[in-house]
């Protein structure tokens, strides 16, 4: 949501600037933007007229691997309902968070789990696997389920990726929040990654302009993706017009600079 709170207007304006749009859905007591039928028809028309593609980011409030059976059941059913509704847009991906701590819309300081913590959440994995089976069935053919690394190392997702129930949405900003080595993560997971989220991070503030990051760091990632012949989506996950314009300028200049040095 870059241009205000109106989902359709936001997509309409973004379609003049980019060729792929992540439709970020929310469902909290204060924020709800699950599109109605007529809104989906508008989004479908924009897609056809502007020749763009979509990803659908399911609400971060979902807890499809909760240890509470009722929460897990409600989250799965709600996710299935949204997926089936949004399938009319034929998105490339449905992106989902699978939290094992209380979901939040903003990162919590010092709440990041590394590979050393995996044994603490052993029960999370079978819940996540069972839930993904139900969601993959709802998505059907042609649309992939992507699980995004959130406040934990991508290594937590290895069993899910191994079973072929999902692929990865690799959020580089979340890696920075966890003080992970981004290049190592790209090297280890790029073959499973269908979409990359790119945004600036300062301390525990995320989804900022790329201008807050050292230019050479961004260039290093771009160089890696170019040398690896990555063909997935790179999504500038920022939420203001200024941050989007600035980030697009930086990314365009970086790509040109890297290509000239190749």
Listing DSSP states for 156-170 in one string gives: GGHHHHHTTS-EEEE
Q: What pLDDT was estimated at residue 76?
A: 97
Reported CATH class of domain 7-261: alpha beta
CA separation for the pair 70, 75 (Å, rounded): 8
> Is the predicted pLDDT of residue 197 greater than 80, yes or no?
yes
> Is the predicted pLDDT of residue 262 greater than 80, yes or no?
no
Q: What pLDDT was estimated at residue 49?
A: 98
Pick the closest to residue 23 from 39, 241, 147, 168 (CA basis): 39
Percent of the chain whose pLDDT exceeds 70: 100
Extents of the domains making up the chain: 7-261
CA separation for the pair 162, 92 (Å, rounded): 21
Q: What pLDDT was estimated at residue 32?
A: 86
CA separation for the pair 163, 157 (Å, rounded): 10
Which pTM value belongs to this model? 0.96
């Amino acid at each position: 949501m870059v241009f205000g709170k109106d989902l359709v207007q936001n997509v309409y304006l973004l379609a003049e600037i980019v060729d792929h749009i992540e439709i970020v859905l929310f469902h909290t007591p204060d924020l709800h933007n699950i599109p109605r039928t007529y809104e989906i028809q508008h989004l479908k028309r924009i897609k056809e007229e502007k020749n763009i593609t979509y990803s659908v980011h399911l609400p971060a409030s979902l807890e499809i691997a909760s240890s509470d059976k009722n929460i897990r059941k409600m989250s799965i059913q709600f996710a299935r309902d949204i997926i089936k509704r949004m399938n009319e847009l034929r998105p490339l991906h449905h992106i989902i968070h699978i939290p094992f701590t209380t979901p939040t819309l903003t990162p919590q300081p010092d709440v990041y789990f590394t590979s050393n913590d995996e044994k603490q959440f052993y029960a999370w994995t079978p819940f996540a696997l069972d839930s993904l089976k139900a969601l993959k069935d709802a998505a059907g053919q042609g649309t992939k389920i992507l699980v995004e690394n959130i406040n934990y190392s991508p290594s937590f997702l290895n069993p899910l990726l191994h079973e072929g129930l999902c692929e990865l949405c690799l959020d580089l900003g979340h890696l920075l929040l966890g003080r992970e080595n981004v290049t190592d993560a790209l090297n280890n997971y790029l073959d499973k990654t269908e979409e990359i989220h790119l945004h600036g991070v300062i301390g525990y503030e995320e989804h900022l302009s790329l201008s807050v990051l050292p230019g050479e760091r961004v260039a290093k990632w771009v160089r890696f993706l170019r040398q690896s012949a990555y063909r997935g989506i790179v999504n500038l996950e920022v939420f203001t017009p200024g941050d989007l314009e600035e980030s697009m300028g930086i990314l365009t200049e970086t790509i040109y600079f890297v290509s000239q040095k190749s």
